[in-house]
Amino acid sequence: MDVRHMMKLAENMYRYCKNTDIAILPDKESVLCRLYKLIGDGLLFSNKFSPGMTPQRMLTRVHLALGLPIVRTISQESLYRKLTARGQNWIDSITVYEQRVRDCQYSEELIWLYYSLANFNIEVRRYSLAKNYAGKCIHEARKCENFRWAINGYLLLTKISVHQKNKNEVRRQLRLAISTAKNIENEELDYFLQTCLTVINECTLERDKPDQLLKQRQQEIVQLITPYEKKREAWLLFDNIRQRPPDRRLPIIPGLVDTDEYDRIERLKEERRQAKRKHKSKPARQRGMEAEELISAYLTSSTEVYL
């Protein structure tokens, strides 16, 4: 099953139902509820192992599901094709789905929207927001006793923890997924989750040291340059790169991201936006009174100095 194609069809079906008049589609709410259930089932059972899979392909599927590094080879697996579409604008998708969350009226729809928002934020490396949305997805799913969507949410949290190199959190989320899967009683799903836990226990998720890796990479690049003048220019270029903020640097190591630094930058941006909104929310009269008080205080202090 091609998961990416499934999600595209689900999006088209969702738009069709929302934009169709109730006179043409009188039971569209039940159709949408059925759609949300099918999406959850498709996402969950796409993670199962197919019959006749070799151990290497099973390991590749686990790595893809958890976001672990893999050797980039051509594959026809659904999970491999689930990877990022090059032409998709994730920021626009986030904006659209956030608006849908505001207009949402049903828990089943809200679960799907939260899951999608978490997935989109993972793609743009906003792991704090992704974790928040995944947690909301699990909370809503548990309220509805929809254990399949809850497991999907736990797998998303597992993927986020893998990106953040937090092995203990990865284990915890997988154990929660395994305990939740007992309510479904599906042996293939249980086997897949147990395999994921085994793989995580065997692999190492050490935090990368970006500065050390970048320095090593820079030295390797400079060694490939033969003329001395070009080497000097390369070192000057690397010095200029180091002086720039982390989110505006030229990536010389594809895939190397300091997630903590990115999260800190996103938090600072959000704080600035909130401060700006708070400042703009003050009425003009209140701002005028504050300015008048400041001027009067300044004039009073100036008069006291002269006296």
**Look-up: residue for tokens 């999260």?**
263
Domain ranges, ordered by start, for the chain: 3-202, 210-306
- In degrees, rounded to 5, the angle at the alpha carbon of residue 187 between the alpha carbons of residues 80 and 5 is 25
Closest CA to 48 of 58, 37, 56: 58
Please report the pLDDT score of residue 306 as a whole number.
Answer: 45
Lowest mean pLDDT among 51-55, 66-70, 166-170, 195-199: 66-70
Please report the pLDDT score of residue 255 as a whole number.
Answer: 46
Closest CA to 122 of 163, 152, 76: 163
CA–CA separation, 159 and 131 (whole Å): 10
Pick the CATH number of 3-202 from 3.40.50.1220, 3.20.20.60, 1.25.40.10, 3.40.1010.10: 1.25.40.10
pTM beyond cutoff 0.75: no
Please report the pLDDT score of residue 305 as a whole number.
Answer: 43
Closest CA to 149 of 111, 116, 123: 111
Average pLDDT, the chain: 78
- In degrees, rounded to 5, the angle at the alpha carbon of residue 209 between the alpha carbons of residues 259 and 225 is 110
CA–CA separation, 277 and 257 (whole Å): 30
- Asked if 205 contacts 162 with a C-beta cutoff of 8 angstroms, the reply is yes
pLDDT for residue 179 is more than 70:
yes
DSSP state letter for 248: G
- In degrees, rounded to 5, the angle at the alpha carbon of residue 258 between the alpha carbons of residues 231 and 197 is 125
Out of 61-70, 188-197, 232-241, 281-290, the most confident range is 188-197
CA–CA separation, 100 and 89 (whole Å): 17
Tell me the one-letter amino acid at 168.
Answer: N
Residues 204-250: pLDDT tens digits?
A: 766 555 566 677 777 778 888 877 778 888 887 777 777 666 656 65
H or E element at residue 147: helix 147-163
- Asked if 184 contacts 154 with a C-beta cutoff of 8 angstroms, the reply is no
Put residue 100 in one of left, alpha, beta given phi > 0 → left and psi -120 to 50 → alpha: alpha
Please report the pLDDT score of residue 284 as a whole number.
Answer: 53
